[in-house]
């Protein structure tokens, strides 16, 4: 990483009544980065955020901010702020007083408080709502007050705990763009917690996938989506078709895999492979190609479901061996009216080189656990 590290977590562990919630976690967060902690509920992402904010003290490990150990510092002394899931606006204070609260606690001069609060409210386009009480605002407006209240203190780090989960879809999209804009303008490092993989992919510079208190993968959204490190990430982030395959021939550059009788040659993966071994062949729905039933390759099957999605046509294809395959195809200008009949026979293949291979046994995540998530 070229940028300097702002936050450094080493061997961080936390248990609640004997149950391990975070398991010796290591993570470095760069200055100015938008990093997302992604995982299903109970994966430890909220606990991690609370450790960073200081609401919980870790059982083991250290948290360093700008080189200073803040592991045992109480929340009020940490130079970072939180946007809470349910906003946590003070109901007895006006919008102005809510935003001014942190500055008053710093005992800033009145003029400065006034100016900075007005700037912060203008930034979230709520200037004219300063005298309202929180209950007189809509959910989206309350959310923006919560953001203004946190950034007005100019923290080095902003923690956001599923801040958009209470908003409806359209507003959530708007707020996602808004948050990205704020983050760019303010240059503050964002640690964003969500269970929404779409949100994680579209907003972050880097995504950390968590499950059972462990980091499953960290990387750019593209890495996470296109090159998942294990089955859990592959299944949790986006839709995935998973085919069992057997390695038939291993060469220096290329391998041949037999996927239920259908032979394909592909690039040799990064992990060690040997002939006769099984592998998982992963294909995203948009990598799937649906061919005419008389095509010379591919799996034979028939269409059992079709969903018109506006920009794509999503279909479920039932293969002869019982497997179901999800396919997502874009409409193209040659055939804008293309569609399937239910029960229509087809053949299923995929674009050469777009498959992703994973070994059968992978990094400590039992398969049943990944499947349940």
Where on the chain is the footprint of another protein (CB under 8 A)?
53-55, 74-76, 81-82, 84-86, 88-92, 94, 101-102, 105-106, 131-133, 136, 149-150, 153
What's the CA gap between 87 and 139, in Å, rounded? 9
Contacts of 56 (CB under 8 A, 6+ apart): 14, 47, 50
SS3 content of the chain, % helix, strand, coil (to 5): 25, 35, 40
Compute the least distance from the CB of residue 7 to another protein, in Å: 16
What's the CA gap between 303 and 308, in Å, rounded? 14
Residue 351's nearest CA partner among 266, 263, 269 is 266
CB 217 within 8 A of CB 36: no
Closer to another protein by Cβ: residue 92 or 170: 92
What's the CA gap between 321 and 255, in Å, rounded? 24
What's the CA gap between 261 and 57, in Å, rounded? 54
Mode of pairing for the β-strands spanning 214-219 and 356-359? unpaired
What's the CA gap between 133 and 97, in Å, rounded? 9
Compute the least distance from the CB of residue 27 to another protein, in Å: 21
Closer to another protein by Cβ: residue 148 or 365: 148
User: 115 is written with which tokens?
Assistant: 């100016």
Residues in the chain, how many? 373
CB 5 within 8 A of CB 157: no
Compute the least distance from the CB of residue 133 to another protein, in Å: 3
Mode of pairing for the β-strands spanning 5-16 and 241-250? unpaired
Compute the least distance from the CB of residue 104 to another protein, in Å: 8
Compute the least distance from the CB of residue 77 to another protein, in Å: 8
Compute the least distance from the CB of residue 278 to another protein, in Å: 48
Compute the least distance from the CB of residue 29 to another protein, in Å: 18
Closer to another protein by Cβ: residue 106 or 248: 106
């Amino acid at each position: 990483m070229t940028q300097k590290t702002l936050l450094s977590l080493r061997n961080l562990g936390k248990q609640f009544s004997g149950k391990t919630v975070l398991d010796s976690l290591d993570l470095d967060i760069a200055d100015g980065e938008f990093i997302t902690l992604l995982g299903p509920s109970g994966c430890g992402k909220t606990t991690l955020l609370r450790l960073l904010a200081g609401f919980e003290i870790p059982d083991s490990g250290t948290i360093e901010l700008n080189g200073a150990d803040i592991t045992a510092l109480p929340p009020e002394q940490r130079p970072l702020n939180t946007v809470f899931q349910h906003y946590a606006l003070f109901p007895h204070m006006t919008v102005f007083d809510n935003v001014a609260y942190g500055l008053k606690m710093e005992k800033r001069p009145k003029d400065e408080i006034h100016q900075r609060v007005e700037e912060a409210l203008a930034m979230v386009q709520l200037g004219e709502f300063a005298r309202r009480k929180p209950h007189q605002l809509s959910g989206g407006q309350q959310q923006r007050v919560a953001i203004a209240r946190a950034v007005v203190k100019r923290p080095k780090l902003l923690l956001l705990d599923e801040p958009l989960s209470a908003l409806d879809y359209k507003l959530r999209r708007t707020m996602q763009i808004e948050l990205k804009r704020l983050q760019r303008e303010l240059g503050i490092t964002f640690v964003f917690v969500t269970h929404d993989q779409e949100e994680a992919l579209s907003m972050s510079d880097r995504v950390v996938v968590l499950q059972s208190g462990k980091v499953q993968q960290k990387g750019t959204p593209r890495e996470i989506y296109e090159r998942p490190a294990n089955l859990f990430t592959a299944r949790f982030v986006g839709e995935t078709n998973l085919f069992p395959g057997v390695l038939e021939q291993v060469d220096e550059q290329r391998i041949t895999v037999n996927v239920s009788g259908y032979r394909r040659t592909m690039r040799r993966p990064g992990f060690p492979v040997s002939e006769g071994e099984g592998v998982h062949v992963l294909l995203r729905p948009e990598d799937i190609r649906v061919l005419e039933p008389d095509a010379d390759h591919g799996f034979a099957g028939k269409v059992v479901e079709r969903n018109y999605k506006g920009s794509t046509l999503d279909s479920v294809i039932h293969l002869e061996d019982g497997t179901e395959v999800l396919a997502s195809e874009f409409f193209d200008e040659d055939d804008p009216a293309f569609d399937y009949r239910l029960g229509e026979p087809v053949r299923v293949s995929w674009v050469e080189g777009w498959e992703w291979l994973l070994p059968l046994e992978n990094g400590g995540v039992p398969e049943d656990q990944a499947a349940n998530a």
